[in-house]
Amino acid sequence: MVKAYDVPADRLIARLAATLKQDQNIVPPPWARFVKTGCHAMRLPYDRDWWYVRCASLLRKIYIHGPIGLSDLRSEYGGRQRRGSSPSHHRDAGGAIIRKALHQLEQAGYVMKIHGKGRVLTSKGMSLVDSTANEVFDELVKIMPELSKYA
C-alpha cells in the first residue's frame, strides 16, 4: 500500500486540493481574497485557489507530523521576514488562516482535535490521503514503469 511518504508532496497536495474543492464543507472565507498568509509575506497569494491548497497541505502535514498543534503549524508555514539592511528574522504565519482551515477540515470529518496534544487525522482523513497517494503513484507508474516494483 502506497502512503503519503512515498509520493512527491507537490503532486499529492495538488490532487488533494482538487478533491477538497469538490467538498461542500471546505469554502474560502470572504476575507481570503484580501489577506496575506503572514507578516513575513510581501504580497497576497497568486493562486486564486490557494485556500484549497493550504487545506490540502494541512492534511498532509497532520498526516506526517500529527498530532500537531496550531503553534507548530504556524511555525511550519512561517518564513523569513526581510528587514531592510538589518538581519532577517523568522516570523510565524498568521494563525487565523490555519485555525479557520482546521475548523473546516474538522467539520468535513477529516481532522479531529485531541485535547492537550493537537490535531490528528480521522479514519476518513487517512483514507482520503492514502487513496489520493495511491492515485498519484499510479500516475507516476504510467510515466515511469520501473517504479512499479515499489508498490
pLDDT in tens, 38-82: 777 777 777 788 899 999 999 999 999 979 999 999 888 888 888
Measured in residues, the chain has a length of 151
DSSP secondary structure letter of residue 46: S
Cα dihedral 24→29→30→31 (10° resolution): -160
- Predicted confidence at residue 120, as pLDDT, reads 94
For residue 130, is pLDDT > 90? yes
Question: Are the C-beta atoms of residues 102 and 111 closer than 8 Å to each other?
Answer: yes
Domains assigned to the chain: 4-28+50-78+93-150 (1.10.10.10)
pTM: 0.88
DSSP 59-107: HHHHHHH-SB-HHHHHHHH-EEEEETTEEEEEEPBPHHHHHHHHHHHHH
